[in-house]
A and B are shown apart, each in its own frame.
Chain A
């Protein structure tokens, strides 16, 4: 038979353990990261975005040599794919995109970049396939929409027509049958 002091100590121990669990979970969920995890990759991406492609590629390559996480590595390679694509070096760009997608087949940015490479290489069926995969992962991605539009311009070009109709009752299509 446990004494009342033993019971109290037991209860205090359980409460303490629960508190520890909650504190540890909170500590995990509130983990604060100050600044980018890989500065070179971060600056490289910004340089690419601003159009300084050579500098963007240089920084990204340095960043990739230092990158620890798979996510950073994939982002870096995807950005290199985009960078070489901007330089018109399609084969190099394609190789980087392929590398990303062989590591992670859910990387919609790599699908988007590779689809654009395929559009430029006139491999329209391959572009379509990558766009479908990318759109399935990220249906609202603007870049995917832009590439889709570029593909359509190649495979299904259209010319805008505007009809201005001031008639009170525009006649219906009266096909004689």
Chain B
């Protein structure tokens, strides 16, 4: 299994683009590759649901949808999800995202495009200013 993925990694031009930090201090990372039917143009980042944040819930949602010639998304449907809390923000994010328009020479394929959103919570290390760290010799 590992070998297969290592092989795939050679073929796939993997673009792991950390988009940085959004307005609400959410860290965003976007993975894409050139095997997809359509290239993302504008990617809307979903909002981490407040309830999930409060209850420390992480999750994953895969959403599939159609992309028309102009790059607009439609027929958005959740393919799999670990928690319903994340489904609405994921669908809204897809609704607000666009893809690069298809050149006239290319034909529109009927294949659905899918995107997976992972909602994760990273522990924050807080440093108390002025705190002196003391090493005690045994």
Contact = CB atoms under 8 A, between A and B. Distances in A.
B14 interface: yes
A159 B27 contact: yes
B19 to A, nearest CB: 8
Interface stretch (A57-65, A109-117, A165-173): A165-173
A174 B1 CA distance: 9
Nearest to A172: B5
Given A166-B36, A170-B31, A159 B25 contact: yes
B interface majority secondary structure: mixed
A34 interface: no
Interface stretch (B76-84, B102-110, B119-127): B119-127
A119 B45 CA distance: 33
Given A161-B29, A162-B46, A172-B1, 14 more contacts: A157-B123, A159-B121, A160-B53, A160-B119, A161-B27, A161-B122, A163-B29, A163-B31, A166-B36, A166-B116, A167-B32, A169-B8, A170-B31, A174-B6
Contacts of A174: 2, 5-6
A13 interface: no
A26 interface: no
